[in-house]
Amino acid sequence: MAWDKRTFRELATDREIDVVVPAPDRAAIRTTVWPVAVDGEVYVRSWKGEAGRWYRRARRTGAGAVVTGTRRHEVRFVPVAGADLDAAIDREYLRKYRRSSYAAAMTRPPAAGTTLRLDPAE
């Protein structure tokens, strides 16, 4: 299932979105992340790497939501890896966030090993 054009454009161009990751018998975790789009897909990484609570929970549950402005979108968090894809995502982080002193940190450990693709929930 693919994102509709409007939502994809929001996710691809917004500089920050919130991820919301629920868990049984616990409060949802809501965290601001930086999205990037590569080849028609949207990706996020955990700035704190594996230490990011939202990331650990997203890996465990595989489901949650993202919030863009006032719109909430249910998602599946899909772990991805591969040298070519990682390099393309690194380039997009550096291009999109080049004005931030934190952009380079998103392209190396611990963040670089935590790439998740955001898929719309079915």
Does the structure show a pLDDT above 90 at 59?
Answer: yes
Is residue 18 a part of any domain in this protein? yes
Q: Identify the CATH number of the domain in which residue 92 sits.
A: 2.30.110.10
Instruction: Name the pTM for this structure.
Output: 0.96
Which of the four pLDDT bands, split at 50, 70 and 90, describes residue 23?
confident
pLDDT in tens, 5-20: 999 999 999 999 999 9
The confidence score (pLDDT) of residue 70 equals 87
Does the structure show a pLDDT above 80 at 1?
Answer: no
Is residue 53 a part of any domain in this protein? yes
Is residue 93 a part of any domain in this protein? yes
pLDDT in tens, 60-109: 999 999 999 889 999 999 999 899 999 999 999 999 999 999 999 999 99
Which of the four pLDDT bands, split at 50, 70 and 90, describes residue 37?
very high
Query: Domain range holding 38?
Result: 5-116
Quote the number of domains for the chain.
1
Is residue 122 a part of any domain in this protein? no
Is residue 121 a part of any domain in this protein? no
DSSP notation for the chain = ----HHHHHHHHH-S-EEEEEEETTEEEEEEEE--EEETTEEEE--TTGGG-HHHHHHHHH-EEEEEETTEEEEEEEEE---HHHHHHHHHHHHHHTTTSTTTGGGGSTTGGGG-EEEEE--
The confidence score (pLDDT) of residue 24 equals 84
